[in-house]
Structure formats: structure tokens, C-alpha cells
Structure 1
Amino acid sequence: MTDTIDALAKMREPVPSDQIHYLTKAANRDDKNKLGCKEQNGKNVSADGIYCGGYHVKSFHIAYWGHADLTNRLLEADPEWSWEPVSFDEQGLPTFDRNGGLWIRLTVGGVTRLGYGDSQGKTGPNAVKEAIGDALRNAGMRFGAGLELWSKSDLSAAVDDGEAREWLIEAEAAETIGEIRAIWQEARKAGADKDTLDKISVLGQERLS
């Protein structure tokens, strides 16, 4: 059986530089002047001093970790790692929320944490795979995997959002009105914001209707 401390320490190891990839976001959406993203072109192509070697207009770079590399890290940390959707539909398939997002539970070294992913509005089989990969990266981040790739602002927002959403997902997974009410009480005592409490209340009302 995998040692929990060793598994969690492995998850927190920095991402090797050769496994970091970049998405680009144009600094000016009307810009048509594409250049090679190399240091010699400087600020004419890179708005943040990162040079990815691609060919694009002046852009910001968004670092990400590929699904295969994350899977390899999970296997290194715990060969018996697993994930499961938080809920299933009538056909026994993972339930996606109204936004096309998927909540999962990721278990590594006997520790389970929540994650959320989506496919940015896409549809079809590839969209499902993209949502799963996104959810695994999100859950992996809560184990410290790839944490350094998040900007400080993104990291703060992601942690805050995840903490708020845990109350919602617990309420969505509750089987009775009584359980939802108990979750609402716990969330209030824990200092959950009004928006989160209101959403839990709406879930309770929907169960009654």
C-alpha cells in the first residue's frame, strides 16, 4: 500500500520544465501582426517575457500541464490512484451540471479531494474527455500538483471558489431535505458567503417541488 506522506510529497514536486506547455492569449484582439515567439522579437511578440517558440501575434502565455504528464505523476505518487464522479445519472454515467461542468473525487495515497472541470462550452466525446482532464488537473492542484503554474491571482480565486463549491456539491449529493438543511447550517457556521447559502437554499426548494 502506498505511504500517504510519500504520495502527497510526490504530488507536490515541481513540474519539470520540459513538461510545461503554453496557450497564448492575444494582448490585442485586433492585432494581425504575427511573429515568431523568440527572444529576438522581444515585446513585439511576448507581452509577459515568455517565449514559447510558436508563431502568433503579441500575446500573454498561459502555462498548463498536459493530461499525460499529470497521469504519469499520479501513477508515480500512487499506482492505485483513482477518480470518480461525485454523482451519476439514470444511465449510470457521470452527471454534468447546468454549465457543462463535472465534479469529481480524486483519491491519492488514501486521501480524497474534490475537483471541477469543464470543456469551455464544447460538445461531443472529445468535450467529455476535456472536462475529465480539466477536473483531474483542478483536483490535482488541491494536492499541490502543478501549483506553481497558477498565477497568484488565479490560485487565490481557485482556492476560494473551491471552498465555496464544496458546500454546494455536498448539498447536491445529499439524499434528503434534512441533510441539505444540515449542510446549510454547517456552511453558515463556517462563514460561507450569502451567495453560497442562497444556492443551497434553492437546492432545498427544488427538492421540495
Structure 2
Amino acid sequence: MTEINENALAKMREVVPESQIHYLTKAVSRDDKNKLGCEQKNGRNVSADGIFCGGYHPKSFHVAYWGHADLTARLLEADPEWNWEPLSVDDRGLPAFDQNGGLWMRLTVGGVTRLGYGDSQGKTGPNAIKEAIGDGLRNAAMRFGAGLELWSKSDLRSTQETDDAREWLVEAQAAADVPAIREIWQQARAAGADVDTLDKITILAQERMEGGA
């Protein structure tokens, strides 16, 4: 029986340092040309969620992530002999990807093995494979408690965005006429609604116009 290294597992659960947290930006609107430095002085003209990444982009939400290099450093600190392996291999002995382009893997740290799943969001080519592996390692490492606080914040933000989107769509569906729907679109955009929600409200307006309302 493999001996479990409790110190390694404790190291995996340590909070990610602020200096290692990076942000991907998700633009509120595709046609927003008002790009500014994402700093406190520009406030919500750039940030829709009160996070300031220091980058240069239009009004956006920010999705926190932990980089592959920093995660690898954490794994090495926890257990220099950490290892990952694919759950299955193809006839060439290479990692086998599933029908969705995703990769199941086993991550072993401190004598404990847990599963993870990674994908490259539909991309192809060598870089897509590396992205799937990195995504799988982050997913498996979360099962050890690594970066769990980042995933929790992301899940909470996603839930809030879903609830907000549902409210805007319900209001648009109940609107009396096309001008009212357009006004709701403007309000939703000003409040930081995501692109998909704005597109759905636009479609509702178009359908109402075609119906003669």
C-alpha cells in the first residue's frame, strides 16, 4: 500500500497567492469600441464586476485563473515525484481523447490519485492538446483543494450572471412593444449584461417586429 504524504496534501490546499492569479476578460458587448486601461480611475467604464486587471480592453467581466506554470510549481513543491497519466490510451499508446475532444486523466500527489478532465474548448492542433492537458491538471488539482477558492468564485459569479440574464429576458418577454424591449436592452447593457443575453433580447425585438407588435 502506498504511503500517504499528509504534508504534500496540505501543501496542495494552500491558498493561491494573489501574485499568481491572472484574469481572462469577457467583453460585455461585441460592438463596444470604448477601450480603456482597466484601472480604478476608469471604474465601471471598463470593469463590469469591480475587478481591475490592469489590461487594456472594453467593458468586461473578469474570469480568474491559475496559470499552468504556477500550478506545476505548486505540484513540485508538494511532491517532486507527482505524476499524471491518461485514463486510457489509443492504439499508438498516446492519451485517448473522448468524443467531445476531452481528456480524462489520473493525477497522483503524495501517494493519492484523483481523476481530472480537461478540454480545449473545441480547438485543434498541438496547442489544443497542451491546453487540454493543462485544463485537466487544474481540474484534477482542484480535487486536492488546489485553487479551490478560484473555482468557487467563478461558480458563484456564473450563477449570479445566469440569474441576472434570466431576469432581463423575462422583462423583455413581458414588454408591451418593440421600443420597450429596446429600452430593456439599453438597461441590460448599462448594467453589464453579457453578450449572449443582449443578443437574445435583440432576437425578441426582431420577432416582435416581424409579428407586427
What amino acid is aligned across from residue 46 of structure 1 in structure 2?
A: S
Aligned to 2:91: 90
**Percent pairwise identity:** 80
| Residues 73 and 2 of structure 1, relative CA distance in 2, 3 Å threshold | farther
What amino acid is aligned across from residue 21 of structure 1 in structure 2?
A: H
Q: String of CA shifts for 1:5-31, please: whole Å, max 9, x gaps.
A: 111110000111111110000122332
Higher relative contact order by CA 8 Å / sep ≥ 6: 1 or 2? 2
What amino acid is aligned across from residue 121 of structure 1 in structure 2?
A: G
What amino acid is aligned across from residue 73 of structure 1 in structure 2?
A: R
Aligned to 1:105: 106
Gaps of 5+ in 1: 158-209
What amino acid is aligned across from residue 83 of structure 1 in structure 2?
A: W
Aligned to 1:32: 33
Aligned to 2:175: none
Q: CA RMSD in A?
A: 1.7
SS at match of 2:133: helix
Taking the aligned partners of 2:4 and 2:136, their CA distance within structure 1 comes to 24
| Residues 42 and 152 of structure 1, relative CA distance in 2, 3 Å threshold | closer
Aligned to 2:44: 43
TM-score when normalising by structure 2: 0.70
Whether the aligned pair in 2 keeps the contact of 1:38 and 1:51 (CA below 8 Å) is yes
Aligned to 2:123: 122
Task: Provide the aligned length of Structure 1 versus Structure 2.
Answer: 156
1:141 aligns with 2:139: no
Aligned to 2:55: 54
Higher Rg = 2
- Following TM superposition, by how much is the alpha carbon of 1:88 offset from its aligned partner in structure 2, in angstroms? 0.4
| Residues 153 and 58 of structure 1, relative CA distance in 2, 3 Å threshold | closer
Aligned to 1:5: 6
What amino acid is aligned across from residue 145 of structure 1 in structure 2?
A: A
Give 4+ residue runs of structure 1 displaced > 3 Å after superposition.
Answer: none
Whether the aligned pair in 1 keeps the contact of 2:63 and 2:154 (CA below 8 Å) is no
